[in-house]
Amino acid sequence: MPRLRLNADMGESLGPWVMGRDAEVMPYVDLANVACGFHASDPDVMRRTLRLAAEHGVTVGAHPAYPDLVGFGRRSLACSPSEIENLVLYQVGALAGVGRAEGVTLGYVKPHGALYNDMVRDRDTLAAVMRAVAAYDPALPLMVMATRDTESMRELARREGVTLWFEAFADRAYDGHGRLVSRREPGAVHHDPDVIVDQARRIASGAPLTASDGSELVLEADTLCVHGDNPESIAAVKAIRQALQALEAAS
């Protein structure tokens, strides 16, 4: 069974506002998606987060977003494809510059929030993000959502010369297309640790999930997103790591 790498959003504090529990989550993940200043973070937070990742041997990815600090990057903005390409390139370059000072090289790019979701729905948005990644470094993987049918994304990535990493979520509900249920809908986010760990096991082993329409959904994923905003979620991250290690040992 291929190893399913754990990733988490990191470095999303801003000035005196503390978001997440990065120091507690970092030891249990493989990949850290570090905010680049447009939806959260600032230069001080970025540098501290890169230093923390380096201490734990965690691979760092840029986590660019729409320029939406007030909405935490969760609102779609009317940006043209060229604007999206440039704002992603700007943020990747900013984090890479800070990383250079810390001896940290970027390992991938994972867009955040509304930009991430818009990539699934809109081919022009996805192509713009791919062009930004390819312009910076065509060897840098782009993390995208694992859905029921990924062939159109794979085809576009081949055309743009970009490698894709497909991502699934342990603590989110999926609709019949294999997309995330909107946070505005009840039940969109799982809070029960047993449910979260079970979903992680199913994704890692290729077992089907039950989508919101009742259909079976199998997701082919390279990486699993986890969150660590409170003590309960930290416990869930630890349990997911233990569950995946048990699956790997048994395979």
C-alpha distance from residue 193 to each of 174, 223, 246 (Å): 17, 19, 17
The ranges assigned to domains in the chain are 5-250
| 45: enclosing H helix or E strand | helix 43-56
- Whether residue 163 contacts residue 157, with contact meaning beta carbons closer than 8 Å, is answered with yes
Report the topology of domain 5-250.
Answer: TIM Barrel (3.20.20)
Phi, psi angle pair for 150, to nearest 5°: -110, 5
3-state secondary structure of 165: strand
Helix (H, G, I), strand (E, B) or coil at 54: helix
At residue 33, the 3 state secondary structure works out as: strand
Q: Each residue's pLDDT tens digit in the chain (251 positions)?
A: 468 999 999 999 999 999 999 999 999 999 999 999 999 999 999 999 999 999 999 999 999 999 999 999 999 999 999 999 999 999 999 999 999 999 999 999 999 999 999 999 999 999 999 999 999 999 999 999 999 999 999 999 999 999 999 999 999 999 999 999 988 898 898 888 899 999 999 999 999 999 999 999 999 999 999 987 777 788 889 999 999 988 888 87
